Amino acid sequence: SYERERTIDEENAFASLVEGDATLAMVGHMIQQQGRPLSSLTRNSALLRMLIRNGPDAIRGQEIESAPPIVRLPLVSRYLDGLVYCAALHGRRGWNGVDAAHRHLPASTEQILHPERYLAARRDDPIAVSPPPADALGRGWRPLGCDTLGEWGMRQTLARFVARRDAARAAAGWGGDRYRVYRRERDGALAMVLESVWDDEDEAREAQRRWREVREPGYRWEVRRAGRALTVRRLPLE
Q: Would you place residue 3 in the very low, low, confident or very high pLDDT band (cuts 50, 70, 90)?
A: low
- For residues 174 and 151, the answer to whether their CB atoms sit within 8 Å is yes
Contacts of 210 (CB under 8 A, 6+ apart): 158, 162, 166, 167, 170
Q: How far apart are CA 77 and CA 44, in angstroms?
A: 20
Q: How far apart are CA 12 and CA 231, in angstroms?
A: 23
Kindly report the CA angle at 44 between 42 and 46, in degrees rounded to 5?
120
Strand, coil or helix: what is 150?
A: helix
Please determine, for residue 215, whether its predicted confidence score (pLDDT) is greater than 50: yes
Report the 10 Å Cβ neighbour count for 189.
16
- Tens of pLDDT, residue by residue over 145-196, are 999 999 999 999 999 999 999 999 999 999 999 999 999 999 999 999 999 9
Mean pLDDT of 50-65: 54
Q: Would you place residue 65 in the very low, low, confident or very high pLDDT band (cuts 50, 70, 90)?
A: very low
pTM: 0.87
Please determine, for residue 101, whether its predicted confidence score (pLDDT) is greater than 50: yes
Q: Would you place residue 50 in the very low, low, confident or very high pLDDT band (cuts 50, 70, 90)?
A: confident
Q: Which residue has the higher pLDDT, 102 or 66?
A: 102
Nearest to 214 by CA among 144, 147, 166, 146: 166
- Where are the domains positioned within the chain? 8-119, 141-236
| % of the chain residues with pLDDT over 70 | 87
- Tens of pLDDT, residue by residue over 111-135, are 999 999 999 999 999 999 999 999 9
CA 160, 151, 231, 183 torsion-angle sign: positive
Mean pLDDT of 89-101: 96
- For residues 119 and 107, the answer to whether their CB atoms sit within 8 Å is no
List, in sequence order, every residue forming a beta bridge with 184; answer none if it has no partner: 141
Q: Would you place residue 62 in the very low, low, confident or very high pLDDT band (cuts 50, 70, 90)?
A: very low
